[in-house]
Structure 1
Amino acid sequence: MKRLYFLTILPFIGMLGFLPFVNRVEPFVLSMPFVMFWIVLWAVLSSVILAVMYKLDPRNKEDEEK
């Protein structure tokens, strides 16, 4: 159960940890510089990770049964 909460670290590591490695303008992805695309990608992935955590959390299943 506690291992599930380690998923919250992934967006932090992805967005800030790898930023020095992706800090470049070229290539353009979806008409955005790569660094901007990287940040937008992790913003979307953060939402997906939180949705997965919500579905897997057993405390939320107790509320659905009532």
Structure 2
Amino acid sequence: MKYIKLLILVPIIGFLGFLPLANRIEPYVLGLPFLLFWLVLWMVLSPMILIIVYKLDPDNREVETE
């Protein structure tokens, strides 16, 4: 569980790491050029990944009061 914060790198790699591979117009996905679709996809996935990291991170758990 201590490596859960490494998931924060996934959106960065998705946005920047694979951007040269996604840099094309064809094919069209949902009516968008592939590059625009790729960027919108990562804009939607990034907050979801951050929420998962927040929920699974042990530093964010509330301390039980007795």
TM-score higher than 0.5: yes
Give the TM-score, by structure 2 length.
Answer: 0.85
Q: Offset of 1:4 from its aligned partner?
A: 1.1
The count of corresponding residues between Structure 1 and Structure 2 is: 65
Q: Return the structure number with greater helix share.
A: 1
Q: Which runs of 5+ in 1 are unaligned?
A: none
Q: Larger relative contact order (C-alpha < 8 A, sep ≥ 6)?
A: 2
Q: What amino acid does structure 1 have at the position aligned with 2:56?
A: L
Q: Offset of 1:5 from its aligned partner?
A: 1.1
The list of structure 1 runs, each at least 4 consecutive aligned residues, that deviate by more than 3 angstroms after superposition, is none
Identical residues among aligned pairs (%): 57
Q: Which runs of 5+ in 2 are unaligned?
A: none
Give the TM-score, by structure 1 length.
Answer: 0.85
